[in-house]
Structure 1
């Protein structure tokens, strides 16, 4: 029986009280019996949590009572067991590390495309302006190996800080195309899209909510394999069910969500 609610959420917004927010959210999460990881940085918040539906939703209500997070959206999935082993709340320089300080997503988002629209474009083979779609996977190579969109571009990066130099090497490949960056839940593809626009690539969109929102809204159309997730479930199928994970995958506290790498 799928009794554990898992959520993934992030928001780029200025935070100047990180230490106080950390203590508040840690206490609230523990009170609600939640486990997982919350990252807090001056640029925003990133979280992966799991627990009872009542506990998770009470925590989200508390978080959204803060005006900075009132519109925070969460991707949901269910599991039979708790995929995390403890509750961590960490302070970071970036909630997703790119090492490119000019990127300030809180100052303005890159345009996005929702899942139904992207599916329609992929069905017809082009966007509504007739441009070819270039699907750019912004995740690490080991994540891509679990599954990705058909024909997606994969630069085999091993950490997100490698994305900016990879872009400089390949940016000419996108001439005349509509680039749709995507990732697990939206955070990396949002930063990636902003950087691509900064680099002068004209037609750039991010997949709103990432692969998880795509699965939720349209299933696995034009996608092959599963979606790697940074918890004990290891990967989710297009119906958002968890694939059986081996013991070596069940070590969420040994995964740094800020890097997407095992420590």
Structure 2
């Protein structure tokens, strides 16, 4: 899930025409199939069974603004309580975004049906974009379940920028006023003998203040980029790679997410933004627009929600006066902007493999890669970082770790060093507290956030999240942290 946002829903205009994604040179099969002794793909692991524990990842933009955010929050709380669901849900007038856990996937499916029904005409389960995710097998089920439920109001489904200082002060005053109102309501309820339900903070607190878009970019009149299914994503990217037409991928996630996995497409570079937080993305796009000029731009994130806003912003940015080189002559706009429908989560449900099967049957994985063909190969490498108690999803895009220890450069993709994420044993930057990959051998040689000299007995060097662990990426110009990598042809 992402941070809260700030502006009113984007206005849809009839004149907005989405670009047509490039077509593959030849028709491709609908997806990976079992062949030549390879691992079965879809039937075995695309989603858990109805009676199995599962994680639900979802978001949706509603056809019409919610008539009452507090009322929908109350509906969500009551529904989750009745089904025994825990997790985090963000409710705005333009839609909802959430991640929930349950010991039975059927309860999550029931939740989706009832929420879709509550949202009214025009909302379908396809528009709801629900992904049912497997649990890891190397840690206990209980350790992967949420312990509590949080339902809160936000200005937007996802926020692309933060409010300024004055806007933050205004929001603080509004929150203080709402808190005083809540306390008055609770005192009145107590005087009436407790017959009146107390108003919770989630219901009464005002929504976050709306910040101003960066660089004066106006998103009005722009719609999100066209969605490509996982198969269309493969077809389009590989067609462009074969034809030699210029394209580029943008990883719209943060640095700690892309470090354990990202797309590596033969012949197509991937721009790793390496941001600490999502609200830094506009600055990165502005600073690296020359790398996007005249190319087909493919954006992706964990589940798709961040690309809805980011792709809208990129299209508006490229139409604006600031789309120039060095503030002088305008440069060519992207030939098209596209986003991966359902994000990495849905892509790996189509082309990925269960981590435990990959580790136990490496030879079968190699057979699958050889028999599945160029177009049906999994173009995502590594693990998918998730914002729940699992840390990473067990459906992966390859056997070899993509990540590496920040200190010794050894291949490494375990933030928790063999522990459950719930144990809070992960390494974090001493300054900004984001996750840092440090192998078992190097872990005892440094002090991370939350550790002091007494914890380890030695005056060990501090760990930061920048190159070599010596500085924090949140210091200075974070747009300089961008990496552009290239996949290799098979």
TM-score by length of 1: 0.84
Tell whether 2:289 aligns with 1:171: yes
Distance (Å, rounded) in 2 between the aligned partners of 1:239 and 1:78: 11
Tell whether 2:411 aligns with 1:230: no
| Aligned pairs (5 A) from 1:202-213 | 202=334, 203-213=336-346
Q: Which residue of 2 aligns with 1:112?
A: 227
Question: Which stretch of the first structure deviates more once superposed, 116-125 or 42-51?
Answer: 116-125
1:50 to 83, 86, 101: 101
Deviation at 1:141, TM superposition (A): 0.5
Query: CA distance change for structure 1 residues 84 and 141 in 2, over 3 Å: closer, same or farther?
Result: same
The 8 Å contact of residues 63 and 69 in structure 1, kept in 2 or not, is answered as no
Deviation at 1:199, TM superposition (A): 1.3
Tell whether 2:92 aligns with 1:37: no
Query: CA distance change for structure 1 residues 4 and 138 in 2, over 3 Å: closer, same or farther?
Result: same
Distance (Å, rounded) in 2 between the aligned partners of 1:249 and 1:135: 33
Q: Which residue of 1 aligns with 2:69?
A: 18
SS at match of 1:94: coil
Tell whether 2:141 aligns with 1:88: no
Question: Which stretch of the first structure deviates more once superposed, 16-25 or 147-156?
Answer: 147-156
Deviation at 1:239, TM superposition (A): 4.8
Instruction: Choose 1 or 2 for highest CA Rg.
Output: 2
Deviation at 1:15, TM superposition (A): 2.6
Q: Provide the aligned length of Structure 1 versus Structure 2.
A: 249
| Aligned pairs (5 A) from 1:62-73 | 62-65=114-117, 66-67=119-120, 69-70=123-124, 71-73=127-129
The 8 Å contact of residues 231 and 249 in structure 1, kept in 2 or not, is answered as no
Distance (Å, rounded) in 2 between the aligned partners of 1:155 and 1:184: 14
Structure 2: 5+ residue runs without aligned partners? Answer: 1-47, 162-211, 319-332, 354-377, 398-413, 425-433, 436-490
Greater fraction of residues in strand? 1
Q: RMSD of the alignment, in Å?
A: 2.7
Q: Which residue of 2 aligns with 1:148?
A: 262
TM-score by length of 2: 0.47
Structure 1: 5+ residue runs without aligned partners? Answer: 252-260
